[in-house]
Amino acid sequence: MDSSQFYVVLLLSIFMGVCLASPIKDQKRDRITKLPGQPKNVKFAQYSGYVTVNEQAGRALFYWLVETPASDGPSSRPLVLWLNGGLGCSSIAYGAAEEIGPFRISSDGNSLYLNPYSWKNSHQICIQQVTKEQKFISGHYVPQLAQIVYQKNKGIKDPDINLKGVLVGNAVIDDYHDYIGTFEYWWVHGLISDATYRMLGIACDFGSSQHPSEQCLQALILATVEQGNINPYSIYTKPCNDTTSLRCSLGGRYPWMSRAYDPCTERYSVLYFNHPEVQKALHANVTGISYSWKTCSDIVGDYWADSPLSMLPIYQELIEAGLRIWLFLYICCGDTDSVVPVTATRYSVDALNLPTIINWYPSMIMARLVGGWSQVYKGLTLVTVRGAGHEVPRHRPRQAFILFRSFLENNKSHLYIYIYIFIGVLIILQLYGFSFSFLPFVDFLLIRIMGCSQFYVVLFLSIFVGICLASPIEDQKRDRITKLPGQPKNVKFAQYSGYVTVNEQVGRALFYWLAETPASHGPSSRPLVLWLNGGPGCSSIAYGAAEEIGPFRISPDGNSLYLNPYAWNNCKGICHPQQCFGLSLLHVLIFLLLCSAVANVLFLESPAGVGFSYSNSTSDLYTAGDQRTAEDTYTFLVNWFERFPQYKHRDFYIAGESYAGHYVPQLAQIVYQKNKGIKDPDINFKGFLVGNAVTDDYHDYIGTFEYWWVNGLISDATYRMLGTACDFESSEHPSDKCFQALSLATVEQGNIDPYSIYTKPCNDTASLRHRLGGRYPWMSRAYDPCTERYSVLYFNHPEVQKALHANVTGISYSWKTCSDIVGDYWADSPLSMLPIYQELIEAGLRIWVFSGDTDSVVPVTATRHSINALNLSTIVNWYPWQHDSEVGGWSQVYKGLTLVTVRGAGHEVPLHRPRQAFILFRSFLENKYMPLPPS
């Protein structure tokens, strides 16, 4: 018998000894009377103590049993054995004290409080202190123990240990697939560089991770450095201290990971369980162990003897056994864990080649929110938990409790799937001509890209007409905003808004809003930044100005405004009073220096038909496209600079996001080409900045579908279907098969906010608004947080429109955040912006591309694939940039382009991570690297 088998036999013996066959007197002796610091009115019984597993060697294991409350009938409830992994980590430290146990430990390490989502509330739990990390090596312990129990029970009609199933989370299963899935997860989430990803693939022998080569160790060290000071067990949460990611041990079986998750709660358990009175109450440390109680044993972990490369053969045996003895398996994964990520689990489960009973679907929690995703195979159920890290019950306790309840009840979690199957059938039927007026959200699937005749008009004469018609200075004075309704007091910066005509003949005019820097910051010396939102067909006033980088935010009542502390025309966000209070003089001086990097920001609603921008020719709304938008915007700039001559020759930048990934480089190309040969151009264009930008159809498709699968948003079957059915060379006219695959993906994703996959959507239909017509059929053209609703209320007030000098022609329709007509009838859209990037990079312009890494609409993978296609040489390799001593994201500097990711941000980076976005903007203006980690 090898040491692994010997160890699981020991686990079996303690399980039998403690939970089934302990003498009554030993049971009474083990009864916990009261724990120090325990809250009042504890109505459940607890037992703890030792069970000897080897008399000769004097080897004994410690357990803690928590029964359900007496009122719930503990005698009729099942028994669950919980094991944490490591190797060498304590199930008391993690499972009991942080995850599913009855209590949580207060930060002082002296008192306890009840865990409202304790699993003992429904069933009794026997927690066994085994061996190091969370529960991921339990991915070995659990199936190995289950195999022994199953084999011992063979032929016994009514076995003492009546094993019914196993449940494992973020579990180490198979070395080969764990390696592949982990490295892919790191790259897809922007945690490592392209070079390191390639190096890991070449240097690490996927067949055996027990003894990694020197080259593999080197690659893993580089990956650790590139990831920076994040919490690898929950990549979007703040680590407890600055050394969390630096504790990774590169020895042992899984050399990329340290063996202990170190939230601050771990510190509290060390304090609590080392109190002598606690140990006495628990009947622990009866032999007076010479060392302090620790969450994990370095000795056990470092000297672990044997570890099979794969648990898949055991899973296969147990699944086959389940057909005869009603054994069912659940595997769950928190999808923000980078140590044993969801991709590793999906690859391992796929390797079992199990037939599917219920395909991938979003599982629901209270208020019809997506709690994660699930797929039911023959003999095994896979569940992901959205937004959870390595310790699922710690990060998403309610969802974990629902998962546990569903596991015990076997299949009750699938009740909601029939709703989604029904919706999916309706969607597919509508694709083939059926209509269901009672489901208006399905109508988006009927939209097709219509063949529009190309309508290109050269508009340069309108430049001169606009100049001659009115005095520029008088127009500027007329556009000055005196005060906006609901505006806060003490606004110290100037604002202008109004119309600039771009085509006199048809009466086409674009609406703008300029927010200058405060007078104290010298607006006359600051650069000018033009901000564009995409869609196509969405308003830069609605999004850029009102939600992201503008001077104000709109209150929920839609009647009043408040200052945006992170406005790009103002530096208050770097150190407003609440932040500066208590800081040292040095820190305040640093913040004041940072205030120098602000700009005058110009928001433009483009093309005509978007927001307040209009055309007297209705046909213009049905014939807009990339080329005319770029030409009109350039005409706007020329005329606007005549109205504001003080901005001529000033440094000028263009910025935007989403489909502005087309607008921005196309406009930049026109400005660059028009400026050729001019020594001191009026429009002194210096560079551009784009975020979560549509760039190249081919790579956007590949990167988006990959992101969906890696994050567990779609099934294996749909992922394969998307790759087969969708022509990556052209997304402008997707086939019916591609539509069908995209509709299935939408159903499988469920009611999440696709623009920020870990945040709560504003309403239950957020993800059902996806328009499958148009150029990018997987995405709606507007991010719909509740803030969008506030802007619709505010900008439709007549007094607001009057103050903004807007709607002067009395447009027949209400102001909207996005124009469906403009978006639905978009005429032309080139397949790729990469040729423009190449031209502008060669011209030496400053180009920065940024990406929020929780956006599934234009995800970070799409951006990385597109940039890689440029084949640029690297100046500064992938590194974690810093924000308040934690990782703000990652960056790589290429020759001619800088890529920046923003950790935890969605599609609208300045909305989700405003401070990090301001730091990014400041670095762009100063043309400096993103803040480097301390050396």
Rg of the chain in Å (alpha carbons): 30
Residue 922: enclosing H or E segment and its boundaries?
A: helix 914-926
Please tell me the predicted confidence (pLDDT) of residue 307.
85
Please tell me the predicted confidence (pLDDT) of residue 352.
94
pTM of the model: 0.81
CA distance 911 to 375: 33
Give the three-state DSSP class for 63. Answer: strand
Q: Which residue has the higher pLDDT, 317 or 769?
A: 317
Please tell me the predicted confidence (pLDDT) of residue 250.
26
CA distance 229 to 206: 27
User: What Å distances lie between residue 635 and 270, 362, 630, CA to CA?
Assistant: 67, 47, 9
pLDDT tens digits, one per residue of 341-399: 999 999 999 999 999 999 998 876 655 678 899 999 998 999 999 988 888 888 888 88
Position 231, amino acid: N
Q: Which residue has the higher pLDDT, 851 or 335?
A: 851
Catalytic residue among 262, 700, 784, 855: 855
What six digits make up the tokens of 29?
A: 């002796």
Q: Which of 459, 830, 844 is nearest to 659 (CA)?
A: 830
Res 605 pLDDT > 90: yes
Position 161, amino acid: I
Which residue bears the tokens 């990934």?
A: 661
Please tell me the predicted confidence (pLDDT) of residue 586.
45
> Does the annotation mark 576 as catalytic?
no
Cβ atoms of 189 and 341 within 8 Å: the answer is: no
Please tell me the predicted confidence (pLDDT) of residue 121.
64
What six digits make up the tokens of 622?
A: 């049905």
Cβ atoms of 358 and 193 within 8 Å: the answer is: no
User: What Å distances lie between residue 543 and 166, 462, 557, CA to CA?
Assistant: 48, 29, 18
Catalytic residue among 123, 390, 770, 907: 907
Catalytic residue among 91, 245, 658, 780: 658
**% of the chain beyond a pLDDT of 70:** 78
CA distance 338 to 182: 7
CB atoms within 10 A of CB 397: 19
Which residue bears the tokens 């920020």?
A: 756
Mean pLDDT, residues 756-769 taken together: 61
Q: Which residue has the higher pLDDT, 194 or 405?
A: 194
Please tell me the predicted confidence (pLDDT) of residue 368.
64
> Does the annotation mark 123 as catalytic?
no
Residues whose CB falls within 8 Å of the CB of residue 839, separated by 6 or more in sequence, listed in order? 669, 672
Across 126-140, 151-165, 673-687, the highest mean pLDDT is recorded for: 673-687
Mean pLDDT, residues 149-168 taken together: 89
Return contacts of 40-47, CB within 8 angstroms, 24+ apart.
42/102, 42/114, 43/69, 43/70, 43/71, 44/68, 44/69, 44/70, 44/74, 44/102, 44/120, 45/70, 45/74, 46/102
Please tell me the predicted confidence (pLDDT) of residue 128.
59
Please tell me the predicted confidence (pLDDT) of residue 597.
53
Backbone angles phi, psi at 902, to 5 degrees: -120, 115
Q: Which pLDDT band, with edges at 50, 70 and 90, does 34 fall under?
A: very high
Res 780 pLDDT > 60: no
β-pair type (614-615, 600-605): unpaired
Residues whose CB falls within 8 Å of the CB of residue 126, separated by 6 or more in sequence, listed in order? 15, 18, 19, 63, 64, 65, 79, 80, 81, 82
CA atoms in the 13 A half-sphere facing the CB of 836: 22
Please tell me the predicted confidence (pLDDT) of residue 271.
94
Cβ atoms of 340 and 170 within 8 Å: the answer is: yes
What six digits make up the tokens of 435?
A: 């209509």
Cβ atoms of 448 and 824 within 8 Å: the answer is: no
User: What Å distances lie between residue 232 and 389, 539, 736, 750, CA to CA?
Assistant: 9, 38, 41, 27
Q: Which residue has the higher pLDDT, 664 or 249?
A: 664
Mean pLDDT, residues 559-583 taken together: 68
Mean pLDDT, residues 59-73 taken together: 87
CA distance 247 to 371: 31
Res 252 pLDDT > 80: no
Which residue bears the tokens 């800081």?
A: 583
Angle between helix 312-325 and helix 138-153 axes, rounded to 10 deg? 40
What is 564-605 written as a DSSP string?
A: -TT-TT--GGGS-HHHHTT--HHHHHHHHHHTT---EEEEEE
CA distance 400 to 53: 32
Q: Which of 92-101, 265-274, 618-627, 781-790 has the lowest mean pLDDT?
A: 781-790
β-pair type (328-334, 356-365): unpaired
> Could you tell me how far CA 858 lies from the centroid of its own chain?
12
Q: Which of 579, 733, 668 is nearest to 897 (CA)?
A: 668
Cβ atoms of 122 and 68 within 8 Å: the answer is: yes
User: What Å distances lie between residue 507 and 229, 518, 626, 633, 869, CA to CA?
Assistant: 55, 34, 20, 15, 41
Q: What integer best gives the mean pLDDT of the chain?
A: 81
Position 466, amino acid: G
User: What Å distances lie between residue 595 and 569, 574, 888, 918, 922, CA to CA?
Assistant: 10, 7, 19, 10, 9
Please tell me the predicted confidence (pLDDT) of residue 448.
29
Torsion (CA) 846, 852, 856, 859 in degrees, nearest 10: 30
User: What Å distances lie between residue 31 and 69, 204, 258, 900, CA to CA?
Assistant: 15, 50, 35, 57
Q: Which pLDDT band, with edges at 50, 70 and 90, does 294 fall under?
A: very high
How is residue 254 annotated by DSSP?
Answer: S
CA distance 800 to 555: 14
What six digits make up the tokens of 202?
A: 């070449």
Q: Which pLDDT band, with edges at 50, 70 and 90, does 126 fall under?
A: low
Res 540 pLDDT > 80: yes
pLDDT tens digits, one per residue of 419-444: 444 445 444 444 444 444 433 333 33
CA distance 896 to 881: 19
Before 246, cis peptide (omega within 30)?
A: no
Please tell me the predicted confidence (pLDDT) of residue 77.
84
Res 465 pLDDT > 50: no
Residue 472: enclosing H or E segment and its boundaries?
A: helix 472-479
Q: Which residue has the higher pLDDT, 686 or 27?
A: 686
Residues whose CB falls within 8 Å of the CB of residue 256, separated by 6 or more in sequence, listed in order? 182, 220, 223, 224, 248, 250, 339
Return contacts of 471-478, CB within 8 angstroms, 24+ apart.
472/642, 472/643, 472/644, 472/645, 473/645, 475/643, 476/643, 476/644, 478/805
* H-state helical runs in 648-785: 660-675, 697-710, 716-725, 736-749
Torsional class of 774: left (φ above 0), alpha (ψ -120 to 50), beta (otherwise):
left
pLDDT tens digits, one per residue of 471-529: 667 889 999 999 999 999 989 999 999 999 999 999 999 999 999 999 888 788 899 99
Q: Which residue has the higher pLDDT, 609 or 24?
A: 609
Before 607, cis peptide (omega within 30)?
A: yes
Please tell me the predicted confidence (pLDDT) of residue 245.
30
Return contacts of 549-552, CB within 8 angstroms, 24+ apart.
549/601, 549/910, 549/917, 549/921, 550/513, 550/515, 550/601, 550/603, 551/491, 551/493, 551/495, 551/515, 552/484, 552/487, 552/488
Q: Which of 134, 59, 58, 51 is nearest to 91 (CA)?
A: 134
What six digits make up the tokens of 824?
A: 């639905």
Cβ atoms of 864 and 707 within 8 Å: the answer is: no
> Does the annotation mark 912 as catalytic?
no
Res 924 pLDDT > 60: yes
Angle between helix 626-643 and helix 472-479 axes, rounded to 10 deg? 100
Q: Which of 250-264, 308-322, 596-610, 921-935 has the lowest mean pLDDT?
A: 250-264
How is residue 753 annotated by DSSP?
Answer: -
CA distance 362 to 384: 9
What six digits make up the tokens of 906?
A: 């969605």
Please tell me the predicted confidence (pLDDT) of residue 441.
38
Give the three-state DSSP class for 153. Answer: helix
